[in-house]
Amino acid sequence: MLDAEFFDLTVVGGGPVGLAAAGAAAARGLSVLVVERFDFHGGHGSSGGAERQWRLQYAETDLSALTLHARTAWRDLAARTRRRVVHETGSLWFGDTTQSSSEGQIEAAVAVLDELEIAYQRVDNDELRTRYGFHDLPADYHGIHQPQGGVLDVAAARWALLDSAAGLGCALHSGETVLDIAPDGNGVTVHTDRGRYRCGHVVVTAGAWTPAVLDRIGVSVDLTLYELTQAHFRLRTDRDYPTWFAFQNATDTDSNLFYGFGRTPWADDDLVQVSPLFEADPIADPAAARRAPREHDLRRVTEWVRDHMPDLEPQPLHAGTCVAALPTDHGRQFYLGSAAGLVPDGERVVVCAGGWGFKFVPVFGEACVQLALDGRTRYGLERSGLTATSVTGATA
């Protein structure tokens, strides 16, 4: 490719956020290229698996408010593509209501729900057993149920976002690896294993591969990669569950945190996911993922199901893993911002990476485009931006 093809915006990484950004840019009349090293359906990174939890409750007001924007955005996407993504089956948080985790804290979330006037119900220990099917919990465990929470259909989301981006005329390149990005005063040059492109701005949404892309311009995003275990158990009664998360004190060996789902609304089976959330044994590179659950994780989640969920068969029917790229600073949910001030011409590079962000996908995509084109976003995400203290990079 002697003459570089030009696009107004290039997106590096064709996962859900990247496709959402592509669609948002194309809707504003921009020419858009999406470069994806794998394919657009495989879920090789953090968007693998069939389902993700959907919830409105957060311990931070701005994030709960952001879910309300996301709820509208998912509905708009469903109306355009006729693919339903969000199923509001309810969200249950229970356990030690003062215990903090990467999900937040129950009492802090209650204060935010009250502030934003979002409905919820308190759940006492007896109701956890009789209404929701969790038995033999410590007597001081209580919780909340938020009825608009539920589950996200990952495959439907990917297809809807892909259909939308393709329908708006985005160039979608799969099986192509970005080797280098080079911003300058007039734009950005993107080098891949197929050739070279020029663009006005680049949005990096490469998930666990984001650090490798940004290293090439001298920016290191502080992410830690974990291979998390997911397990599925067969129901042996007609019981169903909301999505749920159990807040517990850590043990000597792990975080003691578990979460799960009810029956999959779009599948005709009797399997439910129950998984541990153990951030242990970080990996240096997504290519180092073993793609096999840790024996410790499987043993512990099997014990949890045996001890507290009698409506399930006590042994997992199958189990797998997914790679999660999480900010090393647990006080930070994700990175979303430009590299302005960190590297020369960094305002032409926008990054979205890390965290438990699937529920925010359409909002993140739109915010990336707003940052690239307008220099700011209407969603008030300043505290999630790239700063000299959150990343290490060359000085502009």
Same domain for 229 and 306: yes
Same domain for 310 and 280: yes
Same domain for 211 and 130: no
Asked whether residue 84 is domain-assigned, the answer is: no
Same domain for 112 and 230: yes
Q: What is the pLDDT of residues 286-296, one digit of tens each?
A: 989 999 999 99
- Which residues fall within 8 angstroms of residue 367, CB to CB, at 6 or more apart? 336, 352, 377, 379, 381
Q: Is 206 helix (H, G, I), strand (E, B) or coil?
A: coil
Asked whether residue 74 is domain-assigned, the answer is: no
Q: What is the CATH number of the domain that holds 250?
A: 3.30.9.10
Asked whether residue 243 is domain-assigned, the answer is: yes
> What per-residue string of b and e applies to 49-84 under the rule 16 or more CB within 10 Å gives b?
bbbbbbbbbbbeeebbbbbebbbebbeebbeebebb
**DSSP letter string, 290-352:** -SS--HHHHHHHHHHHHHH-TTB-SS-SEEEEEEEEEESSTT---EEEE-TTTSTTGGGEEEE
Tell me the two tokens of residue 52: 């993700």
Same domain for 255 and 139: yes
Same domain for 250 and 104: yes
Binned at pLDDT 50, 70 and 90, residue 223 comes out as very high
Same domain for 203 and 166: yes
Same domain for 229 and 142: yes
Q: What is the pLDDT of residues 42-66, one digit of tens each?
A: 666 666 789 999 999 999 999 999 9
Radius of gyration in angstroms for the set of CA atoms belonging to the chain, rounded to a whole number = 21
The count of residues in the chain is 396
Q: What is the pLDDT of residues 323-357, one digit of tens each?
A: 999 999 888 889 999 999 999 999 999 999 998 89
Give mean pLDDT, residues 120-140. 98
Same domain for 287 and 311: yes
Tell me the two tokens of residue 27: 């809707």
Q: What pLDDT is stored for residue 49 in this prediction?
A: 85
Report the domain count for the chain.
Answer: 2
Q: What pLDDT is stored for residue 47 in this prediction?
A: 66
Of the residues 295, 327, 359, the one at which a domain ends: 327
Of the residues 327, 350, 373, the one at which a domain ends: 327
Instruction: Find the range with the poorest average confidence among 31-45, 146-160, 187-201, 304-318.
Output: 31-45
Q: What is the CATH number of the domain that holds 184?
A: 3.50.50.60
Q: What pLDDT is stored for residue 356 in this prediction?
A: 86
- Which residues fall within 8 angstroms of residue 200, CB to CB, at 6 or more apart? 7, 8, 9, 187, 188, 348
Q: Percent of the chain, pLDDT > 90?
A: 88
Q: How far apart are CA 133 and CA 239, in angstroms?
A: 8
Same domain for 257 and 196: no
pTM: 0.96
- Domain containing residue 23: 5-47+155-221+331-393
Asked whether residue 24 is domain-assigned, the answer is: yes
Burial class (CB in 10 A: 0-12, 13-18, 19+), 2: exposed
Top pLDDT among 247 and 44 is at 247
Distances (CA, A) of 312 to 114, 133, 143, 354: 34, 10, 21, 33
Same domain for 336 and 315: no
Of the residues 327, 347, 381, the one at which a domain ends: 327
Closest CA to 370 of 396, 337, 343: 337
Same domain for 186 and 136: no
Asked whether residue 59 is domain-assigned, the answer is: no
Asked whether residue 261 is domain-assigned, the answer is: yes
